[in-house]
Structures are given as C-alpha cells and as structure tokens.
Amino acid sequence: MDPSPPVVPAPDTTLEPAGFIVDADGVRIHFLDWGGPAEATGPAVLAIHGIGHTAWAWTPIARRLGGERGERRFVAMDLRGHGLSDAPTEDGAYDVAIQGEDAVAVVEGSGLLGAGERVAVVGHGFGAIAAAEAAVDLGAGCAGLVLVDGGWESLEEATGLDVDEFMRGLDEPPEVMRSMSAFLADRREFDPASWDGDQEQAARASVVETHAGRVVPSARPHATEATVRTMFEYEPLDVLPVIDAPVTALIAADDETRSRARSLASVSAAREAAGRTAIRAITFAHDGHNLMRYRPGEVAVAIMSVHRPPTGEG
C-alpha cells in the first residue's frame, strides 16, 4: 500500500527570514534563511528561484516548512545577477556549472549539510536547472531534487523559439512598468485570490523604482540575457540521468505541452536505463507558471516527500 502524503503545516504568518551573504569564488551570493525546528522530520531544503524573481518567491513554501513550528530548515537563494547577489560581467560567469557551484556554496555556507545530513534541492524555471547541477555536485549529499515548472527539457525544442525570440517575450508592456502601482496591479490580476502581502513583497523585490517613478527589473539586463542563453544551452539528458537521488517534476498547465511531455518521458527513460528511479511527475491542469504562488501546499508536499517512497502519482 502506498504511504499517505505528508500533512503540510499551516503557514506561519509571523515567520521572517534572516539574510546572509556567502562568498562563491569571489562572487557574493545572497540567501534568506527561514530557520527550522530543533528536531526536523526530514532533510533541510535549498530553494532556487527562476529568471526575473528573487528568493522571496519561495515565501509561501518557507512559511509552511521553515521556522521552529515547521518541518524543515529552509533556505532560499538569489541567483547571481538577481536580488541582492552580485552580477559579474565576465564571459562565462553565468554558465550552468558555475550557477550550480553557487548553490553548493550556499548549502555549505548556510550549514545545511551537517554531519551525515542530506539536502533537498528545489528549483523553479531556470532555478530548476541550477538545482539539477547542484544535485550532481552534491552527490550523496542530495536527498532529492524537485523541478518546478522546468529543468527537464531542451528549451528550444520544447518552446519552438530561439533564444532571441524568447528574450523578446520577457519584455514587459510599457504600461505595466510605468509605476510601482501599475506593476503590482498587473501581478495581482494574474490570480487575485492568491494575492497577499507575501506576493506583493515578492513582486516588489523583482523590480526597482527609478527616480522618475517607473520600475525596471531588479535582475540586471546582462545577467538576464546570459542566464537565458545558458538555459537554452542546457541539455537535461547530460544531467538528470546521473543524479542518484529521486527526482520529482511539478508541471503547471502553462508548461504541459506535448513536446515537454516527450522530453520528460525521454529523460525519465534515460534515468531508468542508467539504473536510477524514473522521474515522478505531478501535473496541475489549471495553474500557471508559478506553482509556489498558486499551489503552495502541493509544492510543500512534494518537498516533504523527497525522502519518502513514491506515492504512485505520475
């Protein structure tokens, strides 16, 4: 009989993180540490956001899993070029291997890997790619990998776009960026039911208000472009089949295309051929490309389940 899924704690609305900086080979990487209970029930968690976001995107999950009243020690990092992390300009500074090393630096600098401990690595969008690289680097130190809305496909094949077309699609309409209030109103309308103070804080962290009152992305333009180009160079068949830890993919409706499904099946089969477990896939038929906002409870369950046997979903 399959074990029942774990029960997710109610969000702790009083919980606030501490901010820290770790040195990753001369580049300062910022992370938020939400803490954890004295007696955690499972591996600590490192969470990595996607392009254009920051560590604050993980707040709905951190409130459920982190803190003294939660289940796990929970740390979320800012990718290089995003949030409060440095934005180097050297060629190759945003290669996927380097971003994976940043994640490992946060794991080590935050003390997530205690003696004999393992870490659950979780990533959203491009953060899922960085998380996969970190899982390879951590080896036996990785308890499980959770890919949220990405990380299992070749992006050009899945989207039918080249990198320049994809970059143009990231541009916001001028009317959205004319003021902070216009930007927040736009983000609220994605799903008014899930909009709250945490979502507003996450949205505010993703932009910077200029003296003229307009807003611009807080992710530095050169970093965004370099990260997107890295994302298009990523080949999941070179990475996911060599990860010993179990892998779970959470797939939003926006991402559930036929080509992406084929990519996931191909990578999962490659893992089995290499003697590893198949990828456990969980789909959300009516939710967009930000499951941390729209389905925080289900994302939390997937993270809590990385050290448990699969429940047969997929």
Residue 69 covered by a domain:
yes
pLDDT for the residue 256:
54
Residue 216 covered by a domain:
no
Residue 126 belongs to domain spanning: 18-160+221-304
How far is Cα 76 from Cα 23, in angstroms, rounded to an integer? 16
Residue 5 covered by a domain:
no
CA-closest candidate to residue 305, choices 2, 1, 19, 5:
5
How far is Cα 10 from Cα 64, in angstroms, rounded to an integer? 6
pLDDT for the residue 234:
96
Residue that has been written with the tokens 């560590």 in this structure: 55
**pLDDT confidence tier of residue 117, bands split at 50, 70 and 90:** confident
Residue 7 covered by a domain:
no
Residue 173 covered by a domain:
no
Count of other CB atoms within 10 angstroms of residue 276: 18
CA-closest candidate to residue 45, choices 107, 137, 109, 100:
107
DSSP assignment string, 65-115: HSSTTSSS-EEEEPPTTSTTS----STTTT-HHHHHHHHHHHHHHTT-S-T
CA-closest candidate to residue 245, choices 195, 205, 292, 279:
279
Residue that has been written with the tokens 């997710």 in this structure: 8
Beta pairing partners, 281: 249
Which pTM was predicted?
Answer: 0.94
Domain CATH for 78: 3.40.50.1820
Taking residues 183-193, report their average pLDDT: 96
Residue 152 covered by a domain:
yes
Q: Is the pLDDT of residue 159 over 60?
A: yes
Total domains in the fold of the chain: 1
Q: What is the pLDDT of residues 219-274, one digit of tens each?
A: 999 999 999 999 999 999 999 999 999 999 999 876 556 677 888 999 999 999 99
How far is Cα 114 from Cα 72, in angstroms, rounded to an integer? 14
pLDDT for the residue 310:
40
pLDDT for the residue 312:
40
Residue 212 covered by a domain:
no
pLDDT for the residue 168:
92
Q: Is the pLDDT of residue 35 over 60?
A: yes
The secondary element (H helix, E strand) that includes residue 260 is helix 258-273
Percent of the chain clearing pLDDT 90 (strictly above): 82
CA-closest candidate to residue 76, choices 129, 13, 34, 124:
34
